[in-house]
Amino acid sequence: MVNLTIDDKQVSVAPEATIYDAAKAVGIRIPILCHDKKLHPFGGCRMCLVEVEQMKGRLIPACTTPVSEGMIVRTMTDEIVKARKLVLELLLLKHPLDCPVCDAAGDCDLQNLTFEYKVEKNHFTDEKFRWEIDYENPLIERDQNRCIHCGKCSRICDEIVSFGAYSFVNRGIEAKIGTPFDEKLDCEYCGSCISVCPVGALLARPFKFKARWWALNKVKSVCSYCGTGCQLTLGVKDDKVLTTVYDEDQGFHNGQLCNRGRFGYQFINSEKRLKTPLIRKNGSLVPASWEEALSLVTAKISEQKSVDASTVAALVTPRLTNEELLLTKKFFNGVVGTDSIDHSAGYAHAALTEGLKESFGITASPSEITDIQKTNLLLVVKSDAYETHPVIGFEINLGVKRKGVDLRIVSDKSGKLTKLPDAKKYIHKPGAELLLVNALAKTIIDAGLADTAAAGFEELKSALATVSIAQAAASTGVSAELISSLAIDYAKAEKALILLPIGLGYPGHGKDLAQALANLAILTGKIGKEGCGILVMGEKNNSQGAADLGIYPSAGGRNAGAIIDGCASGAVKLLYIVGENPVVSYPDRAKTEKALDAVPFLVVQDLFLTETAQMADVVLPAKSFAEKCGTFTSVGRNVQRIRKAIKAVGQSRSDKEIFAELIAGISGAKVVTDAAELFKEIAATTQGYAGLEFDKLTDAGCVYPVALSPRLVPVNAAVPAAEEGKFALLTGSALYHCGTLSLFGEGPMLVCPEQYLELGRSDAAKLGIKDGDTVKVKSAAGELTLAAKVTVRMPEGVVFAPYHFEAASINRVAIGAPVTYVSISK
């Protein structure tokens, strides 16, 4: 530690700290405009000037000056104040004084410092800039006239987002923050630049003129989209969520959000929200009271329970809180008596609930998100990890660019991650990842780099004996040399971590692939240590919680696929769907629609009248995450609290309130709905949660511990046979969407509003297709007309489509296989 004195206070900090860091550590505030804790020091604004006695009183920037032993620092002398006022005058020289109409007023660092330092007049005069304001970006308004050249937007886009949408251009008085070729801003629309802008040069257009910052009630919560568990602060006024508020001290991600988290909040107060229960009468859904709706549901379930409880089934979203999932399970397993309850189409959680359960004895990842920057070698399966979990993508960017993490990507296509410095990619044939991973395990064993004492070693060795690396190379499309080098590098790395994204768009990422990857970690002893193991990235905000709470059949009940089949065959008489939209998000839309149409009684509990809800006999309006409190468990086992920010929209009720009433209506038992009380039961009954207390969960949450029982599990692998003359269709996630919920968020829909088919340039040229052309996509299951998106990342013969959209939904041609072969024509 380094010892120094700041304003007569003794400080001890790490050697790499700056004066600014040291001052902040003891509560001494130094004004600054160009600094953010996530970014490299810049020293551009000169507001943080301080005096160091050993430097003969010379003023130096606190944010770029490292501490040294015995340093004596002054932060508020008359000379310093005078210098800071001068800096502010120079900044205000070109800055327009349009605070009354600037959306940043009240949240503007320049405005606040001008007030604090009493800059009442300017000793300098000059003409103001007259830069053209960029209004064309749908989410980000860019006004160069207000820019103070702090460079934070350019730096965050380069250092963390790794997109590079901004850069300094020109010199001297003509200098400005520019875009490539000085075109309009076209980027990933994550809004990171807005979050760090200290003035009003960059504004969130969806929030413009909605409210003043000081009028907002700020409520801390957790994002309800993907499973990363990003903490966010909701800006609330008049019981409406109007924006998200940036806080650099929030979460492992330091307030960093993706497009969905920053701009997708509009679904909370959407005009499309369900506000009253609906009951089908004379073929149409009509408004009803809660009493009428719940009485009908209770009567139907009681009737079916008395005949055969196994004919009742449920499909439940992992977007519910842990407390709501607890009551959901209690209701169906305990009160109704059915084990036919599942989520995420059954296959999208199998990597956790089946794969890691057998490999490690737990239904969770043994690793944490923070391991990403602590590892030496990071093996990412699927470049889509950036699209499914963008903020984890930022962590990967930081690991590679700042910590020197050796990034390896095993994928069926290129992506943003493959562009990172020194990243090595292994592009395999569609559906060949399982064979490729087995070939890596075989190589490690043959090279004598495996832990022969690992449980199940002999069985795995015997099972892999028939694997030929040469044949695997031919089948996967990855050369034997590359397979060998990757296997050896992984085995010899001091610390290595594997990332596996899962979700409804990835039917091939299930039990077998998770176990094959777990085999690599167990074989090389890379488990139970910092920066090692495997991180299975659940798709939804509480996918891990749903696995922990057992929202899947465990006593012979039907899984999601069998439930759909049971609806079609008549074996399932009553289906209760909570928050899922299987018509759009499950494979094989025609089959799903037919099944839901055939089931005698269908109940849907949701925020919106989705395509699935439109088929229901009863529709119950549920609350969003912003209207209730409880907990989510994110990727890496972090249990976090969400807090109520607004009143219920319309007559909507929380899922726990609904199930508590149903339990009381059928069994007569009174159930508590208080989140803290329900969490006590979770802590007492759920593996890993023992000792956790609801009221003691901090904003950062708590990562629950796991006890591993590692065992090698042999996995059979085969590559799907290609169909001559056809293209391999892959499905997955688009960067701007998560499931189907984001379709109701204004931000995501402004930048990615419709379905598309992505194909490579060479294939497009052969077919005579240009970007934006309409193409026909046909499989054995059906046919679609889609807009073509021509890119450079798709291998020849491979095409991609996201699974989120209702219009032209890709599940009309994709029926659940890891790869669907299709024909394409104009």
Mean pLDDT of 440-458: 97
pLDDT at 171: 87
pLDDT at 508: 85
**Residue 112's CB: how many other CB atoms inside 10 A?**
13
Phi first, then psi: give them for residue 320, nearest 5 degrees: -70, 160
**In the chain, where the domains are located:** 2-76, 129-267, 278-346+545-703, 350-537, 727-825
pLDDT tens for 578-629 read: 999 999 999 999 999 999 999 999 999 999 999 999 999 999 999 999 999 9
Distance CA 618, CA 739 (A): 23
Specify whether the backbone of 197 is left (phi greater than 0), alpha (psi in -120 to 50) or beta: beta
How much of the chain, in percent, has pLDDT values that exceed 90? 95
pLDDT at 304: 97
Q: Is 477 helix (H, G, I), strand (E, B) or coil?
A: coil
CATH of domain 129-267: 3.30.70.20
Do 783 and 687 touch, CB atoms closer than 8 A? no
> Which string of DSSP letters, residue by residue, matches 248-274?
TTSTTTTT---HHHHH-GGGGG-TTB-
- Picking from 67, 63, 83, the residue whose alpha carbon sits closest to that of residue 17 is 67
Q: Give the pLDDT band (50/70/90) at residue 173.
A: confident
- Picking from 313, 363, 373, 364, the residue whose alpha carbon sits closest to that of residue 337 is 313
Distance CA 118, CA 115 (A): 5
Distance CA 439, CA 818 (A): 19
Do 703 and 509 touch, CB atoms closer than 8 A? no
> Which string of DSSP letters, residue by residue, matches 86-106?
HHHHHHHHHS---GGG-TTTT
Q: CA dist 207 to 211, 221, 225, Å? A: 8, 19, 20
* Token code pair at residue 678: 């329900």
- Picking from 468, 497, 494, the residue whose alpha carbon sits closest to that of residue 483 is 468
Q: For helices 433-446 and 469-476, what crossing angle results, to 10°?
A: 160
* Token code pair at residue 663: 């339990």
> Which string of DSSP letters, residue by residue, matches 678-692?
HHHHHHHHSTT-TT-
**CATH architecture, domain 350-537:** 3-Layer(aba) Sandwich (3.40)
Indicate if the pLDDT at residue 57 is higher than 80. Answer: no
Instruction: Find the helix or strand (DSSP H, E) in which 308 lies.
Output: helix 290-308
Distance CA 212, CA 191 (A): 19
CATH of domain 2-76: 3.10.20.740
Q: Which residues pair with 552 in a beta bridge?
A: none
Q: Which residues pair with 576 in a beta bridge?
A: 314, 603
pLDDT tens for 250-298 read: 999 999 999 999 999 999 999 999 999 999 999 999 999 999 999 999 9
pLDDT tens for 382-412 read: 989 999 999 999 999 999 999 999 999 999 9
Distance CA 343, CA 352 (A): 13
Give me the amino acid identity at 584: V
Any idea which of 55-64, 188-197, 465-474, 682-691 has the lowest mean pLDDT? Answer: 55-64
Mean pLDDT of 140-168: 95
Q: Is 478 helix (H, G, I), strand (E, B) or coil?
A: coil
pTM of the model: 0.96
Query: What b-and-e string marks burial along 789-825, b requiring 16 or more CB atoms within 10 Å of the CB?
Result: bbeebbbebbbbbbbbbeebbbbbbbbbbbbbbbebe
pLDDT at 497: 98
pLDDT at 673: 96
Q: How confident is the prediction for the chain on average, in pLDDT?
A: 96
pLDDT tens for 107-135 read: 999 999 999 999 998 888 888 888 899 99
- Picking from 728, 697, 718, 750, the residue whose alpha carbon sits closest to that of residue 819 is 728
Phi first, then psi: give them for residue 806, nearest 5 degrees: -75, -50
pLDDT tens for 618-637 read: 999 999 999 999 999 999 99
Indicate if the pLDDT at residue 3 is higher than 80. Answer: yes
pLDDT tens for 175-203 read: 899 999 888 898 999 999 999 999 999 99
DSSP state of 120: -
Q: Give the pLDDT band (50/70/90) at residue 172.
A: confident
pLDDT at 509: 87
pLDDT at 56: 80
pLDDT at 429: 97
Mean pLDDT of 64-79: 95
pLDDT at 681: 97
- Picking from 632, 624, 622, 695, the residue whose alpha carbon sits closest to that of residue 657 is 622
Mean pLDDT of 76-100: 94
Mean pLDDT of 99-106: 94
Under CATH, to which class is 727-825 assigned?
mainly beta
Do 822 and 788 touch, CB atoms closer than 8 A? no
DSSP state of 589: H
CATH topology of domain 278-346+545-703: Rossmann fold (3.40.50)
pLDDT tens for 226-261 read: 999 999 999 999 999 999 999 999 999 999 999 999
pLDDT at 243: 97
pLDDT at 128: 87
Q: Where are the alpha helices (DSSP H) in 668-731?
A: 675-685
